[in-house]
Amino acid sequence: MPAAAWLLPTPPDAADEVAAVIRVALPPLGDFGMPTRDALPPSQVVRRLQELLQGLGQYNGEVHGRLDDDTGNAIRTYQRRAGLEDDGRATEELIVHVEFTSKAIELGARLDAARTEQMRTAEQALLAQPETRRLIADRPAEEAADITRDASACFVAPTQACLLREASESAKAVFDVRFRDWVLGEIVTGLARSGLADEAFDTAARITDPRLIVVALRDISIARADLGQIDQAAAVAAVIPEAAIRAKSLTAIAAAQARGGLPAALARTVADLESLVRGVPADRAGSALAAEAAVALARAGMPESGWGLLDVAKALASNAPDRDNELAAVAAAMVAAGRAAEARAVMADLPSAAQRPVIAALATAAAAAGDTRAAREYAAQVAERRYRVATLVDVALVVAAKDGLYVVRTFETGGVRI
């Protein structure tokens, strides 16, 4: 062989033979003291990331705790989607981020499931009654805004009715159905308060979320009660399927009956309210609904008509999961309804942290009675400075409204002078 023959390329078959010899002759990399990736001990950080990313559907490999190519790719994909630097590193900080994302997604899924179930329940309740069935069954098809519509006539000579109708037409252009439902609910309230009851019902039928249809019925009932249309308000309240929402309507009706001097009708409505709130689930705070109704009756000039409601509220609050805060709200309502002595007795059994609403109610009641000294003494019992200042402001406003006095706020000291 010439001296330079070794410079010539090796024939293919000879090259394969040489490579095979080398592979056989050389030991595995690990034999030289350098461990392969599979030989590295599993990492708990990597294992946790694999579990989390697997739960998010972004890693389909085995949970073995080793940072292989599949794991690295999954980490980088997550980092890119989350707006993080996609370095593929498995760190404790990344675990915190992925855990937060996982919990947020889990919470969102639970909320979506609860929302779907609530919507299903509301829809079934509306379909079960002939008076409300059409709000679901006769729901109009998908609406589209008329871009050629000319609203100039209304804006030249605007009236409440035509503005509400134009708003109703404009709602068709709201793309997101959730926002459109919210807008339609506001329009329902406006139509009902304007005395356009038929149009209010027609607009309610355009709402896609059955839960918001129930709320719209409440708003129609309350608006009719405020207009003095008590029989019509009661007819709407009667078909509201959810007890807690129907209680709001009955409260407005009772207040209208109190203002109108209808004691017999008022007594029946109050009895219905007492029965209704007893059946309200604990998480909807029947005590608060009863106390709210009692305060409404006090403001309507017939406080004693709501005393039975206060008794029901106190009984419900005494057995409520959030007993102290619910009892405090009931005691504050007692003050408004003329049962201050009983309210103080209830407050005495509450921890100091829960007494603030009762003290504030006692302070404003004293101010309304012309006893500003007692009002200030009550306010001084509020431990937290910011709440004490807020109570004093309420007292000052009551006095100003009653006697026409000026309210001077001293911002430097956080105090109020009457």
Q: Is residue 8 one of the residues assigned to a domain?
A: no
Domain boundary among 309, 335, 354: 354
Q: Is residue 410 one of the residues assigned to a domain?
A: yes
What is the reported pLDDT for 28? Answer: 52
Same domain for 395 and 330, yes or no, is no
Same domain for 171 and 224, yes or no, is yes
Q: Is residue 339 one of the residues assigned to a domain?
A: yes
- List, for residues 142-195, the tens digit of each pLDDT value: 777 777 888 888 888 888 888 888 888 888 888 888 899 999 999 999 999 988
Same domain for 56 and 135, yes or no, is no
Same domain for 213 and 184, yes or no, is yes
Same domain for 378 and 335, yes or no, is no
Structural domain including 186 reads 130-140+154-241
Instruction: Look up residue 114 and give its two tokens.
Output: 């609860």
Residue 257: is its pLDDT beyond 70?
A: yes
Of the two residues 228 and 6, the one the predictor is more confident about is 228
Of the two residues 407 and 205, the one the predictor is more confident about is 205
Same domain for 340 and 274, yes or no, is yes
Tell me, yes or no, if the pTM score tops 0.75. no
Q: Is residue 121 one of the residues assigned to a domain?
A: no
Q: What residues contact 90, with CB distance under 8 A and at least 6 apart? A: 43, 45, 46, 49, 67, 71, 75
- List, for residues 306-357, the tens digit of each pLDDT value: 999 999 999 999 988 889 999 999 999 999 999 999 999 999 999 988 888 8
Same domain for 331 and 367, yes or no, is no
Instruction: Look up residue 128 and give its two tokens.
Output: 């079960």
Give Cα separations from 342 to 41, 270, 320, 355, 404 (angstroms): 70, 21, 19, 14, 31
Q: Is residue 120 one of the residues assigned to a domain?
A: no
Query: H or E segment at 408?
Result: strand 408-410
List, in sequence order, every residue forming a beta bridge with 415; answer none if it has no partner: 410
What is the reported pLDDT for 277? Answer: 92
What is the reported pLDDT for 285? Answer: 83
Same domain for 349 and 375, yes or no, is no
Q: How many domains, in total, are found in the chain?
A: 4
Q: Is residue 215 one of the residues assigned to a domain?
A: yes
Residue 406: is its pLDDT beyond 80?
A: no
Q: Is residue 179 one of the residues assigned to a domain?
A: yes
Domain boundary among 313, 336, 354: 354
Same domain for 342 and 367, yes or no, is no
Q: How many helices (H) and strands (E) does the chain have?
A: 20, 2
Same domain for 418 and 386, yes or no, is yes
Neighbours of 187 (CB within 10 A): 23
Same domain for 350 and 370, yes or no, is no
Closest CA to 136 of 233, 74, 206, 38: 206
Same domain for 369 and 348, yes or no, is no
- List, for residues 68-109, the tens digit of each pLDDT value: 989 999 999 999 998 999 898 999 999 999 999 999 888 888
CA-CA-CA-CA dihedral for 190, 192, 198, 204, to nearest 10: 60
Q: Is residue 9 one of the residues assigned to a domain?
A: no
Instruction: Look up residue 265 and give its two tokens.
Output: 């009708």
